[in-house]
Amino acid sequence: MLLAVRDKILFTRRNCDANSEFLWVDILYGKNKSFTFGVINRPPNSSIEPLVDLSASLDDFNDSAEIVLVGDFNLRTSIGILSLFSVNLT
């Protein structure tokens, strides 16, 4: 897994105890402002464990956290895997 950040951008990597392929960094901008950028890779036909780990990791954020999450989730929505997440898109 690679997440490249330009050398002029201030960031800190968050620790993650999960064995799944995802990582988080806090991107600092402006005066005392930040957002969290996450990237995930879930291999095709893998178990749901990476998604369970991701859900647990998301629970560590407060409700007002600004998060951008990208990656390859390899989801098949027909099996109801999205029910693991409760997402508020407002």
Q: List C-alpha distances in Å: 32 to 4, 9, 29.
A: 22, 14, 7
For the stretch 76-85, pLDDT in tens is 654 555 565 5
pLDDT band (50, 70, 90) for residue 90? very low
Contact indicator for 81, 75 with CB cutoff of 8 Å: yes
Q: List C-alpha distances in Å: 22 to 9, 60, 81.
A: 20, 15, 18
Spatial CA neighbour of 49 closest among 24, 81, 76: 81
Answer yes or no: is pLDDT of 88 > 60. no
Per the model's pLDDT, the better-predicted residue between 87 and 5 turns out to be: 5
Spatial CA neighbour of 49 closest among 66, 74, 15: 74
For the stretch 4-59, pLDDT in tens is 899 999 999 988 777 788 899 999 998 889 999 999 988 888 888 888 888 888 88
Distance CA 55, CA 65 (A): 15
